[in-house]
Amino acid sequence: MGGEGDGVAPGPVFVPFTLAGERVIATGSGERRSLVEVLQSSPDRVAPSCPHFLACGGCALQHWAPAPYLAWKVERLAGTLARQHIETELLPAFAAAPGTRRRLALHARRGTREAAKLGYKARKSWDLVDIAVCPIADPALQAAIPALKRLAAPLFEHPKSAPTLHVTLTDAGLDVDISGVEQKSGGLSADARMQLADRAAEADFARVTLDGEVAYLARQPTVRLGAATVALPAGAFLQATPQAEAAMAAFVAEAAAGAGRIADLYCGVGTFTFRLAEIAPVLAADFAGEAVRALTGALAGVPGLKGVTAEARDLVRRPVLAQELKHVDVVVFDPPRAGAAEQTAELARSSVARVIGVSCNPATFARDARTLIDAGFRLERVLPVDQFLWSPHVELVGVFQR
């Protein structure tokens, strides 16, 4: 199996929707082919759960039984670490279940006046697959698909508009942030904005924003993070499933137990911050000012915390320096896909005793881990996390001890 979830035949030839050991007919030329027919199936092949599978580019591996699929993800993670000459204990993986995704990015294309086409791009194509169901999504998101199609219909006044609806299920209902509406012509007309608001109200959405600007607001979208209730900024980052977030947060808190002072870097809206602040005072930092303001705004409603000091700070251009970490004994960092090379260099120079790395990209995690290991840390254990179900994507949490 290739790194993107395609079966690999000699050549190499990559064929999507195939499994190791299968005999298939494929068409095309070059390295990448298209599946025509499976002549001899793997015993690990299962019936896909979605009627849009094969056409939709959202899932690549619904045809693979859960146990070997998850084992393959863990093996890939081990291989990525091995390329940096890193060996560690890989714990049993956390696996998200179907129907648990709380956020989706749905592309919209012009349909009728009443309903746009809405779904995911086809595999390796700009074509849109107009979906009726999405088995990875929370049932509340699935049930909202018809209303989201109606919401998107007024967005096509300009021919260059190619909207994407970033939909998040919050405790207050659905929060929809829309990007990709052409702005050069002045954006949506007053009439289109009125239609957008009417359709949002009809569907009882909590909030609809256009690139962060409020177009409709019935209720402030909120989420529960530990003991805190956080008012979400438009388009705020959250872990894809609440179950994975809970598992990762519990693992991080367990690894941080006994700390005297903690730094939570790339803290976002406080996914780990509030739980860590039950253990020790926390220094929190993130480049997103709105996320930091949401975090600090929630602090007053959470009794019993040891204290949180939060700062909006670009951790690439201005990482927290080794001397600033002089009184910190545990650091948690959860960077974007590019990793945290600049911040890791400062951690390597610091006197911090324990580092907990959360990552959505094993390759950049392995690079940053190598920096810490070369500075005298040991990567003690790693929790693999599969919250992007039926994709080749895998995440992780790793614990380093000096």
Catalytic one of 56, 59, 267, 360: 360
Answer yes or no: is pLDDT of 353 > 80: yes
CATH of the domain at 180: 2.40.50.1070
Domain that holds residue 154: 103-222
Could you confirm whether 360 is annotated as catalytic? yes
Q: How confident is the model at residue 186, as a pLDDT?
A: 76
pTM above 0.75, yes or no: yes
Number of domains in the chain: 3
Which tokens go with 340? 């945290």
Q: Alpha helix (H) ranges present in 238-340? A: 242-256, 273-276, 289-299
In a domain, 391, yes or no: yes
Same domain, 83 and 144: no
Same domain, 82 and 121: no
Q: How confident is the model at residue 126, as a pLDDT?
A: 84
In a domain, 202, yes or no: yes
Q: How confident is the model at residue 219, as a pLDDT?
A: 98
CB 120 within 8 A of CB 390: no
Same domain, 144 and 280: no
Answer yes or no: is pLDDT of 212 > 80: yes
In a domain, 350, yes or no: yes
Backbone phi, psi, residue 372, to 5°: -70, -40
Type and span of the H or E element at 251: helix 242-256
Instruction: Say what angle helices 362-374 and 341-349 make with each other, to 10 degrees.
Output: 20
Q: How confident is the model at residue 52, as a pLDDT?
A: 95
Q: How confident is the model at residue 75, as a pLDDT?
A: 96
CATH of the domain at 259: 3.40.50.150
Q: How confident is the model at residue 187, as a pLDDT?
A: 82
Q: What is the pLDDT of residues 10-39, one digit of tens each?
A: 989 999 999 999 999 999 999 999 999 999
Residue 397's nearest CA partner among 72, 76, 92, 69 is 92
| Cα–Cα distances in angstroms (integers) from residue 259 to residues 97, 278, 281, 310, in the given order | 33, 11, 9, 18
In a domain, 144, yes or no: yes
Same domain, 249 and 394: yes
Q: What is the pLDDT of residues 294-342, one digit of tens each?
A: 999 999 989 999 999 999 999 999 999 999 999 999 999 999 999 999 9
Distance CA 130, CA 107 (A): 9
Same domain, 320 and 203: no
Same domain, 286 and 326: yes
Residue 285's nearest CA partner among 342, 334, 327 is 334
Q: What is the pLDDT of residues 94-124, one digit of tens each?
A: 999 999 999 999 999 999 999 999 999 998 7
In a domain, 2, yes or no: no
Distance CA 288, CA 20 (A): 43
If you count them, how many residues does the chain have? 402
Q: What is the mean pLDDT of residues 166-176?
A: 98
Same domain, 176 and 301: no
One-letter amino acid at 347 equals L
Same domain, 309 and 385: yes
In a domain, 64, yes or no: no
Same domain, 337 and 382: yes
Q: What is the mean pLDDT of residues 189-198?
A: 95
Same domain, 260 and 208: no
Is residue 174 very low, low, confident or very high in pLDDT (cuts 50, 70, 90)? very high
In a domain, 229, yes or no: no
Answer yes or no: is pLDDT of 275 > 80: yes
Answer yes or no: is pLDDT of 167 > 80: yes
Peptide bond into 12 cis (omega under 30): yes
Q: How confident is the model at residue 234, as a pLDDT?
A: 94
Same domain, 122 and 188: yes
In a domain, 393, yes or no: yes
Q: Tell me 92's DSSP state.
A: P
